[in-house]
């Protein structure tokens, strides 16, 4: 992804996480006809990035990353 992906957004339910646009959940710009894509934390829990190969740099192992927040709706 081109933008830095937030590990722990404050309100993930307000944003669609399906592409780099991070649109508000009420006005999706993709036009793919589907609903909002959930943030991985909504599906897998707060430690979602510790399992699998997401390709996300978090610093030292065991260190909890800082809250990156979510992109502001346009």
- CA torsion 53→58→61→65, rounded to 10°? -130
Q: What is the pLDDT of residues 5-20, one digit of tens each?
A: 888 889 999 999 888 8
- pLDDT digits over 22-70, tens only? 889 888 887 766 788 899 999 988 888 888 888 877 764 544 444 455 5
Q: Is the pTM of this model over 0.75?
A: no
Q: Is 15 helix (H, G, I), strand (E, B) or coil?
A: strand
Closest to 16 measured CA to CA, from 39, 46, 48: 39
**Nearest partner of 3 among 52, 34, 11, 15, judged by Cα:** 15
């Amino acid at each position: 992804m081109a933008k830095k992906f937030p590990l722990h957004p404050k309100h993930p339910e307000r944003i669609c996480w399906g592409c780099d646009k991070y649109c508000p959940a009420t006005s999706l710009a993709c036009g793919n006809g589907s609903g909002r894509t959930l943030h991985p934390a909504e599906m897998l829990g707060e430690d979602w990035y510790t399992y699998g190969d997401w390709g996300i740099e978090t610093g030292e192992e065991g260190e909890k990353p800082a809250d990156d927040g979510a992109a502001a709706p346009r």
